[in-house]
Structure 1
Amino acid sequence: MTMSIAPEFISIGGNRNPAAADWDLHGSQLLAFGADNCIALWEPSDDRLRGVTALLNGHTDVVNAVKFFPTNSSDVTVLLSGAADHSLRIWTLRQRDVQTTETKFDLIKTVTEHKSPITRIATLPGSDVFATGASDGVVKIWKLVHDADFTTIDIELIQSIPLTPRYFPLAIALAKLDESALVLAVGGTRSTIQIFVSHDTQFQLSATLTGHEGWIRALDFTKESEDQEGDLLLVSASQDKYVRLWRLHQGEELPAASAALNDPALGVLGKSLSNKAHRFASATSKYSITFEALLLGHEDWIYTASWRHRAGKLQLLSTSEDNSLAIWEADPSSGVWVCITRLGEISGQKGSTSATGSAGGFWIGLWSPDGDSVVSLGRTGSWRRWTYSPAQDMWTQQVAITGHVREVKGLSWSRDGSYLLTTGSDQTTRLFSEWKRDSGSSWHEFSRPQIHGYDLNCVDTVTNMQFISGADEKLLRVFDEPKGVSEMLNRLCKIEAPSADLPDAANIPVLGLSNKAIQAVDENDIPEDADGDDDREALDPASIVRKSTLEFDHPPFEDHLARHLLWPETEKLYGHGYEISALAVSSDGSLVATACRASSIDHAVIRLYDTKEWLEIKPALKAHSLTVTALQFSPDDRFLLSVGRDRQWVVWEKGEDGVYALKHANPKGHTRMILGAAWTPLVQPTFLTAGRDKSVKMWQIEGEGVELKGSVAASAAVTAVACNREAEEGKLQFAFGTEGGELVVGTAEAEGLNKVATLTVGKDVSPAKGINQIVWRSGRKGMGQQMAVASEDSSVRIFNVEVGSSS
């Protein structure tokens, strides 16, 4: 038998660290960003919108810094990454197949010289020197040693610079000062900037720049003109909400004082705008550093600032906690720096809670290689992208990528398999589906039905229009699809819209956790005083949404996902005393079984609710003594299977009266706790259990007993197992995942469950951490199988699984 498994779609959110992303300006056009312990690769300018094309596994802790090394070659790409595991890693990509989605980087070197998490990496085009900073308060200078075509690469430590007085370097920048010297700027958890100049190969402290009143978050050098003549300019951005520009000038003479210093608008800040010149020398020349300009405009901490020569002008991109991204340039006549473009969210929404979607600032801002696009990463882990259109002389937002930023705990396909719901510890539930258009199709997030105040643990669909989720708050919530989402999925994903009467949209009231249904109105129907000018009966602007807001001809942007695409909540289910641990909906959708974390037999009960009236069916099912970890109904709903931390599995049978009662139990099903359970579609009732004892076991109900029919050994504790209910008749097809992220697909004949053929998914495409849930996609008969995988590494992955007959 032949099997092949290939990734179809990967979704993962970016790390909130201003140093954790870089866009390759040479060759590959890839954007690399830290995503939990992985590095995600994305090509923002890809017309096919495939999103994340690969995840690089290797680091054992959060990736803080990512930087492309300038190779000046389109044939080879070198990527440097630094993480909280104290290691610096070097990856290379040889020629890349643009037609397929193959983006295969090889890890070629791992160095652990730093004694603490690495916070920053700085490179210098045209040079083999680069610098790393870590929270041990040390900046290290390295040299990449390689041959002409980078077939051999090594790394050499040139110098370690302990920062005094000790601080964490949050920003590092390198530039060429002249033929004999390099200049290094370092800033961080102090309000000063240190300037080091190299003499031979060693850097020495040459100046300390003062003026900022907060931590330094960003530093970047550039030549004033594109032809690399003229002075060096240094930008520094700080948590004091200001951007400062500094001029490095060659020669004894000081440069002409900047007109910005005499700007009356800055009079209030006059005290801090001293123009003290700092003088220093390289081996061949003398230099001065003077303060050039103060850029005002951001209302909160500034995280990134980077230069770009665009269309003959020098421009600066800055991103801030105030939810905006600004592009600055110098006014040609006065020389004063002004903000010419501001992108992002409207400041009026700043300060609203994460639930109503205030982005919590932009942490990263990057220029595209051609300078005509910019991207930024927000607090929710989602990217935003804008492209400049010269014809309209404006920046327009484009479709970008989104993903969870904490471990993904649960997933569920809709009943017909048309969309996927995911939920996790970042307190969101997300809906992914396929955007179908003439030029092809691609996967995107289309709705964020639930934004919550508690970590979410499990989710399941009741109908194609309804789902239920369980969280750490001890209760379960039921959600119905709103009309706005239904019409969008119909338009963009070709998912049939029901004729049922649905609410238009939903929102979360201030300080609330329950999504309330709201109406969509035409522009003309919004009353004049909707903004609340009239004291008598001001309409709450949050209770309505404009119809035009919900009419998309593309997958929604993050701003809409975080604010307008919630689902109204219709029910709450009470009864459990602790955090919800597992839930399952019956195959016919009429029942929900739920369980919570427990350390006694009284709490380790399974509660059943009917989905018509949402009433609990008493009594609760008692058999387990510790947390029930997984529940599943058999395909015909005759049985309910439960497994738990008490190492036992229990099969409950439905009686004539429709009530489930204990039928079979095995208190020693596994030698360690059981973490996964799944029914097979085989005619003879057969189920699988997966446990921490590194095994998956196959059990068959025969008459009044249950027999162990087969077992598959795994390399680590098995945390999830799932069966494909649409496999060929008489065949068993299943998948299981381990706590190390290993994913295995197995097949067997109904008659030979002791003979299982397995295929382990390649390490380069499997998750970097434990697998929490696997769900096969329904409605795929004759179309090739797919399964979705939720992982602790905060990724959601969809795999294509093809099984051929044995040759």
Structure 2
Amino acid sequence: MDITTDSISIGGNRNPAAADWDSEGSALLAFGADNGVALWEPQDSKLRGVHSILNKHTKAVNAVKFFPTGSSKFSILLSGSADHSLRIWRVKNGPSPQHDLVKTVTEHQNAITRISTLPDSDIFATGASDGTIKIWKLVHDSDFTTIDVELLQTIILNPRYFPLSLALARLDSSSMILAVAGTKSTIQIFISKGNHFELSATLSGHEGWIRALDFTRETLTDGSDLLLASASQDKYIRLWRVHRGEVLPAASSALNDPALGVLGRSLSNKAHRIESKEGKYSITFEALLLGHEDWIYTASWRHRKGKLQLLSTSEDNSLAIWEADETFGVWVCTTRLGEISAQKGSTTATGSAGGFWIGLWSPDGDSVVSLGRTGSWRKWTFEAEKDMWVQQVATTGHVREVKGVCWSRDGSFLLSTGSDQTTRLFAEWKRYGKSSWHEFSRPQIHGYDLNCIDAVTDSQFITGADEKLLRVFDEPRGVAEMLKKLCNIQSDNNELPDAANIPVLGLSNKAIQTVEDDEPIQNGNVDEREAVDPGSVMRKSTLDFDHPPFEDHLARHLLWPESEKLYGHGYEISAVATSNDGRLVATACRASSIDHAVIRLYDTKEWFEIKPSLKAHSLTVTALQFSPDDKYLLSVGRDRQWVVWEQNPEGAYVLRFNNLKGHTRMILGAAWTALEEPTFLTVGRDKTVKIWQLAADEVQLKGTVKTESAVTAVHCNRKTALASLVFAYGTEDGQIAIGRTTSPTFDPIHITRVDAQMSPARTINQLAWRPKTDGQRRDQLAVVSDDSSVRIYGLDLSKAQ
């Protein structure tokens, strides 16, 4: 079967060391995403986003670094994780990069926190929270077909602390310099004799943990001084000069800057003397960079257009570019990007991005990217004609387990929801013969983990969360017009609110109106002394896009107004399903007794509960689905039984069939087929997929598929030929398989597994086949997983053997 990955959406890990942009010509940016390493080409003109994920780590990836190879044909990638392992990957570059794991090293006794490489050498260093630095040599042949590592030295940090940042540089032809810092306010400098490093100096001055270190040559000429940038949680960046010779460099005029006041008097210009085989050196304080208002996470150098520039990112939601002012001899911030927000620590719903954790230069220095708290990347490119940095489309994704997924009724867009407490809308941007998937709206930003979702109409959906109630959301006009303009998605609902926001101290998304840009904001009959809440008004231009929205719009302006809350359940919501005619919603919650393991039905017109609730299960109901004609409702649960409820002439659902031992262990998923005879599938922890068919007075088991691990989700394709059954299931270890068989015998059942390199790394939570849309040539399957990814696969079922 021809299976392709059409889209991957995944958020980045919030760790300043967890991303690197390859400078060797591959154009790849690699970033830690849950337990995997995601590969993305930020400069790709097709804007395809993440195209593959390297899965082998068993815990979160903390550190990612490209090893310099000097070749654009392949890349060597180093990744370190909380699983204590260092893994080395070979990535073959091209239109569809191929990757393989070539080496796994488990020398560290705790989580690896940082990796640093040395250009033009085979030496690299790793730091871990076991309080050690390890120096390695990569042993390889000329084209990196065989790769091994040799441990050269283990440095035990004394006094013991966790290394959060490392920087390696060539001091001279015979020696290397290593700077180490972390959960202390000092920087330790090590100098190599051969390949053995010795502590040579300790630099003091910072007053908080040090998050970033980076070396560079002051100029591109040989023998120029080394500069070291150190960034700290004390909100300052310090620059240090490594100068060759007995004579000290000229003292920095920054020390005498009266603007520094008391701070200036605490800036020591004490010279630290170090030496190598070839000569003596001094390390002196060079400059203090002031401007950030919160913790600084990253600082990295780049020689750009003849000038030395420093890129820094901070918890204050800004990204800054610094350069030396030659006239006054001080360092100034020449560019500031991001958000200037006073709402520190507030949620994304109220407009705060929660800080920038990573900042990276592009290989050519004309673009920068940063990663924020929401797991989304931002990208800016310098446009010489405008002489300014312009924000461009980047990639976004969930940052925790994705629990639920559904297509809109007409299949035009995809909705996902999960434990990062957001609901996200993905659609296909179509322009100039190109198409790519992007996040177009973030309808719900919540305070509880979200567990399940289903579409009620083409412009309405419902979600269930840990807060014990369900919420119903309606599409706002601003989102509908954007989807129509960029994705050619038509909306038939003309009674849409303009937009939505979350009021200050509120919990529910409220509908708001938009006003023209030149229209004054009216107080109405309100006392003139009372100010209008700026959050209750939105300018129309705010929602006028000619590209997919950037993260700052997604996090603030593209919520959907909430129209209903559904109460009744006593515990966290576990399952929700909408009838095919859209008139009913069935819901269930986590339960350990028959009193709570009930299914509640709600009418979608007036949103009242239809009594009585349906009782049969004794433990949590894990999945619900209505049959294609809505005659039956199928429920399965942790009590190992499945139940078929039938609609009686009065329209109420009553128990028709149940099987107390449908599986030998808990049932985790269920799905109806589109076959003429009522047929459904169940899957469970007993590692089986079972096909059942309703007869006159019984339900017959028609087929069984045995799997290698627990099956957690199943969904049937309803667009296949009359007697043909095509279904997809996902397992606890991330495997996805497509099953094909025919009625009435259901024998044989052909199983095609999705390649492990294309599959998620952790439990599959839900799958959803896309309803057929106009112009859709291939079938598409959406898959969400505990590895925080939302994936869309393209399948050509006509070529299936």
**What is the TM-score when the length of structure 1 is the normalising length?**
0.98
Letter in 2 for 1:662: L
In 2, Cα distance between equivalents of 1:226 and 1:357: 42
Which of 267, 272, 275 aligns to 1:278? It is 272
Once the two structures are TM-superposed, the CA of residue 439 in structure 1 deviates from its matched residue by 3.4
In 1, Cα distance between equivalents of 2:556 and 2:341: 15
The residue number in structure 1 matching 2:164 is 170
The residue number in structure 2 matching 1:550 is 543
The residue number in structure 1 matching 2:668 is 675
Q: State whether structure 2 residue 90 is matched by structure 1 residue 97.
A: no
The residue number in structure 2 matching 1:595 is 588
The residue number in structure 1 matching 2:60 is 62
The residue number in structure 2 matching 1:25 is 23
Structure 2 residue runs of 5 or longer lacking an equivalent are none
Letter in 1 for 2:141: D
Change (3 A) 1:576 1:336: same
Aligned partners of 2:122 and 2:139 also within 8 Å: yes
The residue number in structure 2 matching 1:141 is 135
SS in 2 for 1:234: strand
Aligned partners of 1:18 and 1:364 also within 8 Å: yes
In 2, Cα distance between equivalents of 1:544 and 1:609: 33
Q: State whether structure 2 residue 711 is matched by structure 1 residue 718.
A: yes
The superposition leaves residues 733-780 of structure 1 with CA deviations (integer Å, 9 ceiling, x where unpaired) of: 000000000101000011221320010110000010000000000024
SS in 1 for 2:542: helix
Once the two structures are TM-superposed, the CA of residue 501 in structure 1 deviates from its matched residue by 1.8
Aligned partners of 1:16 and 1:381 also within 8 Å: yes
The residue number in structure 2 matching 1:463 is 457
The superposition leaves residues 123-151 of structure 1 with CA deviations (integer Å, 9 ceiling, x where unpaired) of: 01101100000000000000001111112
In 1, Cα distance between equivalents of 2:37 and 2:603: 44
The residue number in structure 2 matching 1:449 is 443
The residue number in structure 1 matching 2:634 is 641
Once the two structures are TM-superposed, the CA of residue 529 in structure 1 deviates from its matched residue by 8.4
Once the two structures are TM-superposed, the CA of residue 510 in structure 1 deviates from its matched residue by 1.8
| More displaced stretch, 61-70 vs 517-526 | 517-526
In 1, Cα distance between equivalents of 2:666 and 2:564: 33
SS in 2 for 1:712: strand
Q: State whether structure 2 residue 251 is matched by structure 1 residue 254.
A: no
Aligned partners of 1:726 and 1:780 also within 8 Å: no
In 2, Cα distance between equivalents of 1:537 and 1:701: 66
SS in 2 for 1:470: strand
Which of 386, 389, 400 aligns to 1:392? It is 386
- CA RMSD between the two structures: 1.3
In 2, Cα distance between equivalents of 1:528 and 1:752: 70
In 2, Cα distance between equivalents of 1:497 and 1:362: 36
Once the two structures are TM-superposed, the CA of residue 525 in structure 1 deviates from its matched residue by 1.5
Q: State whether structure 2 residue 223 is matched by structure 1 residue 226.
A: no
SS in 1 for 2:188: strand
In 2, Cα distance between equivalents of 1:443 and 1:803: 22
Aligned partners of 2:29 and 2:39 also within 8 Å: yes
Letter in 1 for 2:330: V
In 2, Cα distance between equivalents of 1:587 and 1:766: 30
The superposition leaves residues 37-71 of structure 1 with CA deviations (integer Å, 9 ceiling, x where unpaired) of: 00000000000000001000100110000000011
Letter in 2 for 1:330: A
Once the two structures are TM-superposed, the CA of residue 352 in structure 1 deviates from its matched residue by 3.5
The equivalences for 1:770-781 within 5 A come to 770-780=763-773
The equivalences for 1:268-417 within 5 A come to 268-417=262-411
The superposition leaves residues 131-174 of structure 1 with CA deviations (integer Å, 9 ceiling, x where unpaired) of: 00000000000000111111211100000000000000000000
Change (3 A) 1:264 1:389: same
Once the two structures are TM-superposed, the CA of residue 11 in structure 1 deviates from its matched residue by 0.3
Change (3 A) 1:750 1:72: same
Letter in 1 for 2:12: G
In 2, Cα distance between equivalents of 1:471 and 1:788: 21
Letter in 2 for 1:83: S
Once the two structures are TM-superposed, the CA of residue 508 in structure 1 deviates from its matched residue by 0.6
Letter in 2 for 1:688: L
In 2, Cα distance between equivalents of 1:350 and 1:419: 34
In 2, Cα distance between equivalents of 1:595 and 1:662: 16
Aligned length: 799
The residue number in structure 2 matching 1:493 is 487
Aligned partners of 1:303 and 1:363 also within 8 Å: yes
In 2, Cα distance between equivalents of 1:574 and 1:683: 36
Once the two structures are TM-superposed, the CA of residue 289 in structure 1 deviates from its matched residue by 0.2
Q: State whether structure 2 residue 610 is matched by structure 1 residue 614.
A: no
In 1, Cα distance between equivalents of 2:222 and 2:73: 26
* Sequence identity percentage: 71
In 2, Cα distance between equivalents of 1:20 and 1:273: 32
Letter in 2 for 1:581: S
Letter in 2 for 1:513: L
SS in 2 for 1:524: coil
Aligned partners of 1:476 and 1:574 also within 8 Å: yes
In 1, Cα distance between equivalents of 2:357 and 2:206: 20
The residue number in structure 2 matching 1:478 is 472
Aligned partners of 1:607 and 1:620 also within 8 Å: yes
Aligned partners of 1:10 and 1:797 also within 8 Å: yes
Aligned partners of 2:405 and 2:767 also within 8 Å: yes
Aligned partners of 2:346 and 2:354 also within 8 Å: no
Aligned partners of 2:213 and 2:299 also within 8 Å: yes
In 1, Cα distance between equivalents of 2:341 and 2:464: 34
Once the two structures are TM-superposed, the CA of residue 502 in structure 1 deviates from its matched residue by 1.1
Aligned partners of 2:667 and 2:685 also within 8 Å: yes
Aligned partners of 1:730 and 1:749 also within 8 Å: yes
Once the two structures are TM-superposed, the CA of residue 270 in structure 1 deviates from its matched residue by 2.1
Change (3 A) 1:393 1:228: farther
Letter in 2 for 1:266: L
The residue number in structure 1 matching 2:233 is 239
| More displaced stretch, 345-354 vs 73-82 | 345-354
Letter in 2 for 1:67: K
SS in 2 for 1:347: coil
In 1, Cα distance between equivalents of 2:6 and 2:793: 5
The superposition leaves residues 100-144 of structure 1 with CA deviations (integer Å, 9 ceiling, x where unpaired) of: xx1111100000000000000000110110000000000000000
SS in 2 for 1:166: coil
Which of 46, 49, 56 aligns to 1:48? It is 46
The equivalences for 1:682-761 within 5 A come to 682-761=675-754
Aligned partners of 2:256 and 2:264 also within 8 Å: no
Aligned partners of 1:711 and 1:754 also within 8 Å: no
Letter in 2 for 1:97: G
SS in 2 for 1:789: strand
Change (3 A) 1:308 1:774: same
Letter in 1 for 2:535: A
Letter in 2 for 1:91: W
Q: State whether structure 2 residue 116 is matched by structure 1 residue 122.
A: yes
Letter in 2 for 1:680: T
Aligned partners of 1:226 and 1:312 also within 8 Å: no
SS in 1 for 2:518: helix
Which of 583, 588, 604 aligns to 2:576? It is 583
| More displaced stretch, 179-188 vs 537-546 | 537-546
In 2, Cα distance between equivalents of 1:18 and 1:776: 37
SS in 2 for 1:355: helix
Aligned partners of 2:577 and 2:587 also within 8 Å: yes
| More displaced stretch, 343-352 vs 716-725 | 343-352
